[in-house]
Amino acid sequence: MLMTLSTKVDAVDQIKLSEVVDELNRWYPPALAEDWDSVGLIVGDLNAPVRRILVALDPVAEVIDEAVNWDADLVLTHHPLFLKPVHQVSTATYKGKLVHQLISAGCALMNAHTNADRAQGGVADALADVIGLTNCRPLVPAHGAPLDKFVVFVPEADTDRVHQAMAAAGAGNLGEYRDCSWRSLGTGTFTASDQADPHIGTPGLTSTVPEYRLEMVAARPLRARILAAMRQTHPYEEPAFDIIELAAFPTEQGLGKVGELVDPMTLHQFAQHVAAVLPATAQGIRVAGDLSDQVRTIAVLGGSGDSLFGAARASGADVYLTSDLRHHPASEAREIALLRGGKPYLVDTAHWASESVWLPVVAQRLRQWAGGQYDHGSQRVEVRVSQRRTDPWTAQFPSSSLPGTEEHSSNSDERQH
């Protein structure tokens, strides 16, 4: 009987998958993801308990094997398993086989991709931190949710009631503040027709009424609900109101980061620094620019970044550090930069290296959150960063005949052994 009771208590204390998913979505809101992206829970029972979480960059077979062998309940990856529409998940396909393996093992799979790229505490922050950048700002700021401003003219005696109804419908929320409004007292005039049934005044006669101009801001998706609440509580048959669409403001979230090195260094020194602080890869670090020139302002973007050359130039960065740079976009970016004094220079890292620095960050964040879910902060969820290197490249053979690169190639090569 005591054993049964103990088991029930332990089950109650366990964190459910739904709780972990909700928390991850709070840290990395799905709304921040690109339209083409696929983020969120891919496989899993939301009511299942979570005791072990494996964090990895890629949902590949060796990572899933690692998770199953460790008896993990959840694998959190950066990259999605499914990015394009899927019509079947049979074991005839390698992705279908992974799905079956996860379900058979009772292991969930979730990913945070471009939402983690944009969110604070995400991939961009992790990359900027490991590079050692200060005074960081988004390279491409994400804009806040679209807002409306409701301007409603209400008889003085009815203003509180209308305000409360609109607030209950979601108006007046600004950051950590609720029930926010602005009121200014003025005079309203109107003449009701003979067919009207005015709350104040007489049909056919002009009425003058002390009215408040009530202003409240609300998220645009709530427009219909707030408008209905206002109409329902407003005493007039035809309330006078305006709905003004406000400009979207940039936030501290966004793609990439721009920051400053504590001390300037040459491009050569900076490239060596990057090679030292990022995980070693077969690719190493590629550089385009004057190695002897001084650099300080650095733009970084984890993962593929040749679509944001324009943003990097506009940021005033001396260097743009990213991954997967292709020949033609990189060549054109350098030609444009040369017309503007040569900057930004380009530093190209391996995709895996630039994004994997986020894994220990999110793992530690999960440990702290999970520990705080219990009395006395007892740790009942284990979180581990995958030990599998999922960089697809396994070797590099640098050219020995490129003038001026012998030293840099040998340094890079030494790091691989």
Nearest Cα neighbor of 412 from 399, 403, 339, 47 is 399
pLDDT above 70 for 2? no
CATH class of 147-245: alpha beta
pLDDT of residue 403: 61
Q: pTM of the full predicted structure? A: 0.77
Convert the pLDDT of each residue in 292-349 to its tens digit: 999 999 999 999 999 999 999 999 999 999 999 999 999 999 999 999 889 999 999 9
Q: How far apart are CA 332 and CA 358, in angstroms?
A: 30
Start and end residues for every CATH 3.30.70.120 domain found in the chain: 147-245
Q: How many CA atoms lie within 13 A of 178 on its CB side?
A: 5
b/e burial code for range 162-198 (CB count within 10 A of at least 16 → b): bbebbbebbbbbeeeeeeebeeeeeebeeebeeeeeb
Q: The domain at 2-116+358-385 falls in which architecture?
A: 3-Layer(aba) Sandwich (3.40)
The closest alpha carbon to 261, from 151, 129, 387, 150, belongs to 129
The greatest distance separating any two alpha carbons of the chain, rounded to the nearest whole angstrom, comes to 96
From the CB of residue 338, how many other CB atoms can be counted at a distance below 10 Å?
11
Residue 175: which region, alpha, beta or left (left: phi > 0; alpha: psi -120 to 50)?
left
**Rounded to 5 degrees, what angle do the CA atoms 234, 236, 241 make?**
70
Say if residues 76 and 141 touch (Cβ distance below 8 Å). no
Start and end residues for every CATH 3.40.1390.30 domain found in the chain: 2-116+358-385, 123-142+253-354+391-415
% of the chain residues with pLDDT over 70: 91
Alpha helix stretches (DSSP H) within 156-200: 159-168
Q: What is the pLDDT of residue 142?
A: 84
pLDDT at residue number 176: 83
Give the whole-angstrom CA distance, residue 321 versus residue 312: 9
Q: What CATH number is given for 123-142+253-354+391-415 in this structure?
A: 3.40.1390.30
